[in-house]
Structure 1
Amino acid sequence: MTTTAIFPDLKNKIILVTGASRGIGKTICESLCAQGATVVFSTRGTSEEKENLRQHFESFGGKSYGLSFDVTDTAKAQEQLEQFTKEVGPISGLVNNAGVARDQLIMRVKSNDVDDILNVNLKSAIMMCSLLSRNFLKAKEVSIVNISSVVGLMGNAAQTVYAASKAGLLGLTKSLAKELSSRQVRCNAICPGFIETDMTVALDEKVKLSYLTGIPLGKFGKTQDVANLTCFLLSMSSSYITGEVIKVDGGLYI
């Protein structure tokens, strides 16, 4: 079982996580289920893939439900979410984790790439919050966590569009914190640095070493590092924290 912090108030709390099929999103779902939470995840996969993922999450504890929609398909997402909340109950936690990256020099950026990156990384998060905003008024102790990136803070060559989309999430986070605080809805953002995932494992060792030299702690982060902070921000242990941007980067951007 994945090692995770203990937040008993997450038990039975219904939390939606986008981008849950791998990497950070998958570990977040595992950790939430280990707390006894009810995890709802969206997927574009087949019915079999969705069921396998649901069973995998439930093996950690808690309950899990899979919804079949692409985060960029607002109409389908609205239909699925309305049906779920009507049948199961209001969602009181949201983790906007879905994201794509296509590194490219600005002179080579294509319009369709810009659309895809902004739609997945930023627009989907805005629309998830919009679709669930009325639902949040029926729930208790609501918390939104947006998974941004340290690149959204510091920028990076050949990642202009990705950085812009992740920086946009920070503006969304702070604006929602101000707009929804009167309703006791909190919103915070996490900015991961270099986190080891199935994508980074394939990197050349020399490339990894070059990244390591810029990290004061001298090591890469784990998906669990991000998941633990996510659980904290979703729990009432962080009940007086909103509008914050927290880095999980080993000191990369100080």
Structure 2
Amino acid sequence: MTDQHYEWERFTPAQRLARFTIFLGIAIGFMLSLRTVEIIPEFLYDAPSQIGDLFARMWPPDTGSYAVNIHDALIETLNIAGLGTMLALLLALPVGLMSAKNITRIPALNWFAKLILVSSRSVNSLVWAILFVAVFGPGALAGTVAIGFRSIGFCGKLMGEALEECDPGPIEALKAAGAPWTSIFLKGYWPQIAPAFWGITLFRWDINVRESSVIGLVGAGGIGVALDTALNLFRWDEVSLILLCIFAVVIAAEILVTKIRERII
């Protein structure tokens, strides 16, 4: 009788080959990326002193410029975020209904709705802002429309998924009773998706407050315009104040959204 020895191996040869191939691909991609980035060593070595010099110019912040250049731009940023979110919800609701397979049972419309949602999410807010600045000209209108169109994909996708997850029992009961579609939606679907709807609204508004601070760099209104002006004029003390204001608004929006979610959801 011969003794049999078993050797335990964590991965099979095929799995080891697959892991090696993946790691090799990542290493090759990393090396190619380094060649594409074209890092200049002289600038890299000089970066610490440049950062120190920049912070020295930015401190202390120019608090006197808040009332003159920053306050109105900050309020405009909040208005862009709020109106853009409302525009997104108005446009995203029908797209979300069209993407939900349990409501719209036409595959062509489902795919068309998904195309709209993907197209909205795949284009960055800055790109949308550049496009609408070319259409409407510089200002808050271009920023509001850009924020709205960028948010359609986010809001519509989550609302469509919430609609597909609804319990069909109440819906079938309303249909059996002969209720019209508006009653089916308001009495059957809406109570089930209301928490998700308000959660999506608050979360998206929070995101839009941050994005509204950036799109002004391309002329779409808001505090980004003031930031771009201060950068172009090398007013580093005013730049630091603008950055502090943006940070404060983002933190305040985060706290506000958290408190509202705790109360209504």
* TM-score after normalising by structure 2: 0.27
Q: Which has the higher contact order (CA 8 A, sep 6+)?
A: 2
Per residue, is there more strand in 1 or in 2?
1
Larger radius of gyration: 2
* TM-score after normalising by structure 1: 0.27
Per residue, is there more helix in 1 or in 2?
2
